Amino acid sequence: LGIDPLEIRLRNIVKEGDRGPSGEALKAVSIEECLLKAAAAIGWQDRNPAPGRGKGIACSWWMTTGGSSGVYVKINPDGSATLVSGAVEIGTGAITGAAQILAEELSLDLGDISVAGVDTQTAPFDYGAQGSRTAFSVGNACLAAAADLRRQMFEIAARQLDAPIDTMVLRDKQVVAGAKSISIAEVARISRLSGGGLIAHGTAISPSPAYDPTRLENHPLPAWNTPSYHAHAVDLSVDPDTGVVGINRYVVVQDVGFAINPTYIEGQIEGGVAQGIGQALSEEIVYLDGRVMNANLTDYKMPTALDVPEIETILVECASAAGPYGAKGVGEPPCIEPPAAIGNAIAAATGFWPRSLPMTAEKIARELWAGRT
């Protein structure tokens, strides 16, 4: 159509208050900001800086899966806290994010929070480490538990300080009421002697947004909870003789709602892009007569450190109403866009559109050589 790829996306993106596919009202929508920042970072105004070199862009949205989470939190006699959750830490840092929320709410240091090992026999239920939900849902459960613990501590402190509860706050590991204060450790000690200790159970479940049930039937996810928005942009070169793709720059702009731990979030984004690059350029299970021919990591070509460029990450914080401190899910979105962004950049560099994954050098070279005959 002769329309710039960025322009056609900007014409069609959703805006705040628009309706989603099942009629849900979309809130905290940031896709325009993500697209514009990705385009600016990659230098979109010069889409073809040299022969065989091109830039591509892609955007998407993704859900923060619901499901319930429960936690137990106990304040220990030394003023530290123990967090018990059924959620499994699979390397994302999500449980650390939940512990950070708990520490913030209880005026403790992160080092004061001990996370118990997961044992489904004794831990509260968690819906599972999937769907970009763990820090979001367990974090909300920690907020609920912390609120209950504050109530318990303030009731004890009110008797010890002879001060009204409505004047109390937690600050620097102390219950503070005006000029009076008592340490959390002392409150915990008193509670153990007279009340069985400071223990709270927090639960959270993210309700599904209202939607139009006439638009779909028998769907397990009729409307997306707390969606996030993101855009990827890539600058790459294609060797005209071999079809080998070299990624010069890769930029991710992702709306995380609120960055609980920016370093861990950037790590998640880098890992997701690495997975997406593998899907885009090399990873493929090859069958012959029903047998897998590349059932090892020598022949199944996952990207290595030499194949993955430095990932430039730009975080957008468009707060959600449901997440802890406005957070949205983070882990899965970075995997989505890389094949599309890379395919669009290959098209810009070569003039032909790859139509299957992976977009191997062999496929690209075949198309390039076919175009010369």
370 versus 139: the higher-pLDDT residue is 139
CB of 129 closer than 8 Å to CB of 135:
no
Cβ distance 253 to 259 under 8 Å? no
- Asked if 230 and 334 touch (Cβ cutoff 8 Å), the reply is yes
Structure tokens belonging to residue 212? 């139009």
Closest by CA position to 273, among listed 323, 330, 227, 218: 330
Helix (H, G, I), strand (E, B) or coil at 242: coil
pLDDT digits (tens, 9 = 90+) for 202-254: 999 988 899 999 999 998 889 999 999 999 999 999 999 999 999 999 999 99
**pLDDT, tens only, 148-161:** 999 999 999 999 99
Active site residue 33: no
Question: How distant, in Å, are the alpha carbons of 44, 47, 88, 237, 348 from that of 5?
Answer: 10, 10, 41, 19, 10
Residue 207's Cα: distance from chain center in Å?
19
Across the range 24-37, mean pLDDT stands at 97
Cα distances from 158 to residues 144, 169, 191, 192, in angstroms, run 21, 11, 13, 17
CB atoms < 10 A from the CB of 319, how many?
Answer: 16
As a whole number, mean pLDDT of residues 156-183 equals 97
| Contact criterion met (CB below 8 Å) for 366 and 359 | no
C-beta separation of 240 from 352 below 8 A: no
Look at residue 166 and tell me whether its pLDDT is greater than 80. Answer: yes
User: pTM for the whole thing?
Assistant: 0.94
The catalytically annotated residue of 105, 332, 337, 367 is 332
Which element (helix H / strand E) includes 147? Answer: helix 134-161
199, 72 Cβ separation under 8 angstroms: yes
